[in-house]
Amino acid sequence: MTNTVLYPGDTIGVIGDSANAAMLVTTARKMGLRVGAYGADETSEALQLADFKAVGTTKDQDKLQHFAESCAAIVYDSDRVSTNVIKFLAQYTRIPQGSDMLEMMQDRLLERAFFEQLNVNIAPYATIINLDDVYQSINSIGYPCVLKPIQKEWSRGRELVIKTQTDIAKAAGLLDWGTYILESQIAYDREYSIMVARDQAGNQQAFPITEVQSDGDRTSKTWMPAQVDQAVASEIHRIAGEVAKNVNYVGVFEVSFYLTNSGAIYVKKIVPAPSDAGYVFEVSATVNEFSQHLRAIAGLPLAEPQVLTPAVTVAFTAAQLSAVRTQWQLKPNWHFTFYHLRHQEDDDVMGHIAVQGSAVKLILDQLDDTGIWTAADDTPTQA
């Protein structure tokens, strides 16, 4: 594959509406690229910050085509962007991330088929079409387990944790929506994440492993350096390398893992885009995930991330905003990033704080001492 290089002054497009979109826009502009952003909300931060904006829905093919034809390449910001939109745009411009990995990671059956092809540990699961399937599969899956729609975009409000046989009857209404999977809930001790960049020639560059704490399906805290056994670290790197070898993708992606008490490693998920688990590198390493992502996409050599300082990032919600404002004047080692969301619900993540210090434990203690996140740190669940 020939290396296609974007130079300062060339135009790159950003599509998506997560917090990552604005970070990609600002990073691309710093690199000297001209940036266009596409989205339905013209007041969104990404569209406000871009050199030009295209306001339209994911169904507006004329606007999408015009946007694609205005850009030398387009990047998407998260794993929630529609694969149909990406495939449509790819007819008119380069999409280095492609749609293969995105499509695979949005469909739980395709995702698991990929993991099985790589021969990695994943939580035991069964495909569920009707209620009888649940009753038949529960013996091999065991309790507790979770029923999830095949398509991840349908998950909100349509998942069911099954702890006892009496819970199974509750699944009846959910199964009208389509095919599900029933997956064992892994009892795990720690959660790790690794960000990997893959360039146009297939070369890979991994970031240091981070340790993660989840709150439901989103990352609440990330820190590095991670406390990780050498054998576990080697296996995490090996699996991430196998993923990179077996995908048609350019840019940064995340692979996250569960580690059990017995030392078994399970792959949790892959995110084919920059991820909130990588925000910590903004303050802790010589290159951050957004710069590395755009270096790969622009055909530049990948930088080797060097650790500068221990750091922790923690997300805050709209409900925590006033408590966070109190710390604004008090903490010299807290770096605040606000996402400038227009429509705020109490549990919406409004931004994150990156904290630097001499040791991870001291930083985590400092965060705990504020009491802001204590109530939120219940036992994490699987995504």
pLDDT tier at 3, thresholds 50, 70, 90:
confident
Q: DSSP states of 166-209 as a string?
A: GGGGGGTTGGGG--EEEEE----SEEEEEEEEE-TTS-EEEPPP
Task: Report pLDDT for 383.
Answer: 44
Q: Say what the pLDDT of residue 118 is.
A: 95
- Closest by CA to 14, choosing from 31, 32, 28, is 28
Tokens in use for 233? 């670290």
Q: For 91-112, b where at least 16 C-beta lie within 10 A, e where not — what string?
A: ebbbbbbbbbbbbbbbbbeebb
Distance CA 333, CA 310 (A): 12
Per DSSP, the residues of 295-348 read HHHTTPPPP---B-S-EEEEEEEGGGHHHHHHHHTT-TTEEEEE---SS--TTS
pLDDT band at 2 (very low <50, low <70, confident <90, very high): low
CATH number attached to the domain at 190-370: 3.30.470.20
Q: Residue written as tokens 């406000």?
A: 48
List the domain boundaries for the chain. Answer: 11-95, 124-184, 190-370
Summarize pLDDT for 197-232 with one digit per residue, the tens: 999 999 999 999 999 998 877 789 999 999 999 999
CA dist., res. 335 & res. 330, Å (int): 12
Please say if the pLDDT value at position 379 is more than 60.
Answer: no
**Interior/surface letters 12-41, b for 16+ CB within 10 angstroms, e for the rest:** bbbbbbbbbbbbbbebbeebebbbbbbbee
- The per-residue pLDDT for range 63-121, each reduced to its tens digit, is 999 999 999 999 999 999 999 999 999 999 999 999 999 999 999 999 999 999 999 99
pLDDT at residue 175 in the model: 86
* 52-55 and 34-39 strand pairing: parallel
Q: Which residues pair with 355 in a beta bridge?
A: 312, 334
What CATH code is assigned to 124-184? 3.30.1490.20
- Whether residue 59 is predicted with pLDDT greater than 80 in this model: the reply is yes
Give the mean pLDDT of 283-287: 97
Q: Which fold has domain 11-95?
A: Rossmann fold (3.40.50)
Q: Which helix (H) or strand (E) holds 140?
A: helix 131-141
Distances 261 to 93, 143, 190, 275 between C-alpha atoms, Å: 47, 18, 8, 26
- Residue-wise pLDDT for 148-194, tens only, equals 999 988 767 789 999 999 999 999 888 887 899 999 999 999 999 99
**For 310-346, what is each residue's pLDDT tens digit?**
999 999 999 999 999 999 999 999 999 999 877 677 8
Residue 375's pLDDT is 60
